[in-house]
Amino acid sequence: MSRTLLVIDIQNDYFAGGALPLWAAEETEARIVAAIGVARSAGDRVVLVQHVSTAGTGLFAPDGPGVAIRPAVIRAAGAAPVVVKHLADAFQDTQLDKELEGTRELLVCGMMTQNCVVFTAMSRAAEPFDVRVVSDLCTAPTETVHRIALNALASKLDVVEAAQLWRGLGA
């Protein structure tokens, strides 16, 4: 089975000092960095997604510091491809489907649970994959929003924790 961990929008604007800091962003980032390492050790592929705004200013402005993917994620991911998106759905108007060729199981995580994670996981373009959202590797503006989004997703998709995916591997 070919499995890919899709890591969505772990970018500076979602952290302290950024345009839209999220709930538990640093803790979520640390878990994602650990999961990337475990996934790579297990032979799973990793694909990063970066949101770049089409507006000249604000959240994820193309030339702003907030658009950068966090350095710890880049280091952990090694030579993983980075798919640039301009919309919530990481499949829409991108080359993500090409990066996922050969993938059967798609593990979705990142920021924000209620927006980019939901829209990507439920995208029509994701239908060929066995999609799982990794709940403890996601976050949102508040804990309440995060939990509501996960609860709604669980009625449509498999929502799991990282430890369920990589048992005994330290995630």
Is 170 within the bounds of a domain?
Answer: no
Shortest CA distance to 5 belongs to which of 54, 38, 45?
45
Instruction: Confirm whether pTM is higher than 0.75.
Output: yes
pLDDT tens for residues 150-162?
A: 999 999 999 999 9
Q: Residue 171: its pLDDT value, please?
A: 44
Domain extent, residue 155, equals 3-165
Domains in the chain, number: 1
Taking only the tens place, the pLDDT of each residue in 14-30 is 999 999 999 999 999 99
Domain assignment of residue 55, yes or no = yes
